[in-house]
Structure 1
Amino acid sequence: MTFQRFGLYRGRGIHAIVVDMTTMTARPTPAGSLPGTARGVRARVTYFPPNWFAAVMGTGIIAIAAHGLPWQPAVLSVVAAGFWMLACVVFGGVVITTIGHWLMDPAVARSHHDHRVVAHFYGAVPMAVMTVGTSTLLVGVGVVGRDVAVGVDVVCWIVGTLGGVVTALVIPYRHLILRRAHVGEAFGGWLMPVVAPMVSASAAAILAGQLGAGWARTLVLGVGFAMFGLAVVAATPILVALVRRFRTGDHGAATMMPTWWIVLGPLGQSVTAVCLLAHVAPDAVSASVAGAMHEFAVAYGLVVWAVATVWILVAARLTVRTARAGMPFAMTWWSFTFPMGTYVTGSSALALTLGGPVFEVAAVAGFAVLVLAWGVVAARTVRGVVSGELLRLPIPGC
């Protein structure tokens, strides 16, 4: 187990925490064990890393997945609207708390950039922004109106796309290339920065469908295609590294096991993106190009969807085995939600593209699993927030 220590001096006392690399949570260090710390002084440190934005992703994806399901009972629209509103509330709370964290403990907040585990979860920030934007356009339009929904989504898509490009290029370069990371360090979180452009590609297809004919729609689709290519190129070597580590039998600590579900993210999201882009392509390109894109979407979608389905079985088996041995709760548990949501949206997109009951059943079954997983993870998260365990840790021994 590896640890990294961050110190922040304030007045007479020291604010210090030890960050567990395997859980992305913090534990307090005794004040007396740090040089120069005055005994008897209680110091409190806020700890709010960027992986909290995964809670926004995991909540908002339920609204998006519900909207796209092949079967649409009346209650589903209510479910989608409820999760959209909840995602907006969670997003606001996470943003406000993050700002407070940077203001109260800037040294700790800045240290996330250099943390070889936490830094990868900056990819959750642009994805959370785009999840809110897309869910607003699809689900919130009935509440806020079309003009407001489109405006919100345009802003979220631009911000998320730019942020996703930055995370996809900067974070892997700094933490995987410059630091010469080896296969033994690989974990699912390595994919977080590079999945963001694929989310942007899917969001571009949905946004383009709401824009009128003209340069704006063409530009959005063009960027969407570019983001798809960027994500595929960036994610492929990381997926290879993850498979290589997985085959060694070393799957990491129990609290990091849920991150293996993130492998499902680029798979399901790419199926969603390629199918949706092919669906709206006839409005922006020639018939021959659109036809070629449709054929590519079918071929790519079927192969990757099959791989994603197999990976669900592999990850589920690993989860059960780890749970039996003991799997303590950590924010990594949110890895159970958004990746499964991308499998649902990918299955729904294939059902839209090809038809057939197989993809429809897969989408509905996956959605049921997604909601169940969200309920468990959300309940444990709320308990951690109420107790203060996930937000602020007192330094004992005072």
Structure 2
Amino acid sequence: MRPSPTAATPASCPASLADPRIAPFFGAPPMAILAVGSATFTAAPGLAQTSVATAIDLSLWLVGTVLGLVVAVTIPARQFTSHRVGVADASPTWLLPVVTPMVSAATGASLVDRVSVDVVAHGLAWACLAMAGAAGFAAALTTGALWWRLAHHQHDDATTAPALWMVLGPLGQSVTAAAMLALHAPQALPSLAGILSPVAILIGVPTLGFAVLWLCICAAVTRRVSHGPLPYAMSWWAFTFPVGTLVTGASGVAALTGSRALGALAVAFLALLLAGWATSAWGTVRAMLARRSNEPALASPTERAATYAI
């Protein structure tokens, strides 16, 4: 989906919601809030295992989850009723709003065994399981639409090729959610305690297999359409977060199985993540310096807003 060069840039929230190119990006802020909350224990080791850390994590989780659920309902409802797009316009950005409940499921599952009130822990575990299912079905349908679009309307834009990597996000996050539930929720869900780990493994390993397949396809497509050095766009940052979910997913399944092979896969994903982050950061800094020198490093505001779109 490519915007017209003369299209106006939305300047308000209602206008942004009405624009099918911009609306899916409302899924990003809730995921950012959830990521910050989940990182509390890693980024602030002095707070680890304290009530303060749990309170911060739980508070941010609640805020991110509520916002994410609103977005997961509002944006698809807009798409189904008022957005006008062609049959060739399916975009990876459509995954952004529907995957937010999966992020809530993955980050919330790690909180279950840190909540001291049994009733709250029980409800949290069931909520995470339900959100994982809701987001999983929605992401699978969206990915199917994207695959159909790419098979019938071939991708030829090098600038937006990195956006294809966004599909890895729901895949890795679903494996992470299943693994986190198996690791942290058995006590809160005694009726499922015996099957959480087997289900997480049976879901996680095949999903990681498809993720590797999609990763290879993305690399091949990016290479085929670039015809030389890949032109910089903000979509390069799609090389980071989606791959990061594969790291957490593979690590979680490796912890459940004790598999060295899965552990090595997690390390390989981590190396790819670091390479993607370094590449994206280098490109961004270079573009900023070029822009300060009045060079055409970035496209127009409308094109920048649509850099993830196909």
Q: Does 1:209 align with 2:113?
A: yes
Query: What is aligned with 2:192?
Result: 289
Q: Does 1:354 align with 2:260?
A: no
Normalising by structure 1, we get a TM-score of 0.68
Higher strand proportion (structure 1 or 2): 1
Amino acid at match of 2:144: V
Deviations 1:242-270 (A, max 9, x none): 11112225125222211110111111110
Q: Match for 1:263 among 143, 167, 174?
A: 167
Query: What is aligned with 1:318?
Result: 221
Query: What is aligned with 2:4?
Result: 3
Distance change in 2, residues 1:310/1:335 (3 Å)? same
Amino acid at match of 1:346: G
Q: Does 1:174 align with 2:78?
A: yes
Aligned residues: 295
Query: What is aligned with 2:211?
Result: 308
> Take 1:289 and 1:366, find their aligned partners in 2: how far apart are those partners?
30
Shift of 1:281: 2.3
Task: State the structure with more CA Rg.
Answer: 1
Shift of 1:352: 0.8
What residue ranges of structure 1 are gaps of 5+ in the alignment? 7-17, 20-105, 394-398
User: Any conservation in 1 of the 2:176–2:252 contact (CA below 8 Å)?
Assistant: yes
Q: Does 1:228 align with 2:132?
A: yes
The 5 Å alignment of 1:235-254 reads 235-248=139-152, 250-251=154-155, 253-254=157-158
> Take 2:153 and 2:6, find their aligned partners in 1: how far apart are those partners?
29
Q: Match for 2:33 among 124, 129, 146?
A: 129
Query: What is aligned with 1:44?
Result: none
Shift of 1:175: 2.2
The alignment yields a C-alpha RMSD, in angstroms, of 2.5
Shift of 1:305: 1.3
Q: Secondary structure at the match of 2:247?
A: helix
Shift of 1:130: 0.6
Shift of 1:188: 0.9
Distance change in 2, residues 1:252/1:171 (3 Å)? farther
Normalising by structure 2, we get a TM-score of 0.86
> Take 1:160 and 1:152, find their aligned partners in 2: how far apart are those partners?
12
Deviations 1:340-395 (A, max 9, x none): 001111110110111212111110011011011101112222344454676997xx
Distance change in 2, residues 1:362/1:160 (3 Å)? same
Amino acid at match of 2:184: V
Query: What is aligned with 1:366?
Result: 269
Distance change in 2, residues 1:117/1:107 (3 Å)? closer
Amino acid at match of 2:46: G
Query: What is aligned with 1:155?
Result: 59
> Take 1:252 and 1:176, find their aligned partners in 2: how far apart are those partners?
27
> Take 1:177 and 1:353, find their aligned partners in 2: how far apart are those partners?
43
Query: What is aligned with 2:308?
Result: none
Q: Match for 1:190 among 82, 94, 104?
A: 94
Q: Match for 1:330 among 230, 233, 237?
A: 233
Amino acid at match of 1:319: T
Shift of 1:5: 5.4
> Take 2:30 and 2:156, find their aligned partners in 1: how far apart are those partners?
27
Amino acid at match of 2:3: T
Ranges of 4+ aligned residues in structure 1 off by more than 4 Å: 388-393
227-236 or 126-135: bigger deviation? 227-236
> Take 1:304 and 1:254, find their aligned partners in 2: how far apart are those partners?
27
User: Any conservation in 2 of the 1:183–1:242 contact (CA below 8 Å)?
Assistant: no
User: Any conservation in 2 of the 1:268–1:343 contact (CA below 8 Å)?
Assistant: yes
Shift of 1:227: 1.0
Q: Secondary structure at the match of 2:28?
A: helix
Query: What is aligned with 2:305?
Result: none
Query: What is aligned with 1:72?
Result: none
